Amino acid sequence: MDNTTPIIRVFFAKMKPDFFQLSEEEQGQFMARDRANLDALGMKAISMIDCTKTDDKWDYIGVESWPSMEALEQREWFEKEELQISRYVVYRVHWGVEQSFEEYGQA
């Protein structure tokens, strides 16, 4: 895979109590910084699933498309160093390259 191949990332997230202890203004600032970085790096949201009413383990599951591995690496640095996301969110991510489903199960 070269560095310009689009990457699909699936994430699972559960908000920690520390996030809810932020004021509404601080939560808004956190989310605005997060969104600005996602937009700047070219992330396209494929799907976002709100599981807060149906799943005790995860609050959100999302599928994202990233323009390159380099963009995803920059994102992961931002999450860790700038947002300090592990302070506010329990999360898990998986990523790979898109594959067509058209041929699946076809004889």
Cα gap 36→88, rounded to integer Å: 18
Strand 60-66 versus strand 89-96 pairing type: unpaired
> What pLDDT score does 100 carry?
84
Domain ranges of the chain: 7-96
> What pLDDT score does 104 carry?
87
- The correct answer on CATH 3.30.70.100 for the domain covering 7-96 is no
Q: Exposed (0-12), middle (13-18) or buried (19+): which is 52, by Cβ within 10 Å?
A: exposed
Q: How many Cα atoms occupy the beta-carbon half-sphere of 90 within 13 Å?
A: 7
> What pLDDT score does 2 carry?
59
Average pLDDT on 76-83 reads 96
Which tens digit of pLDDT belongs to each residue from 12-48?
999 999 999 999 999 999 999 999 999 999 999 999 9
**pTM exceeds cut of 0.75:** yes
Cα gap 25→87, rounded to integer Å: 18
Q: Is 2 helix (H, G, I), strand (E, B) or coil?
A: coil
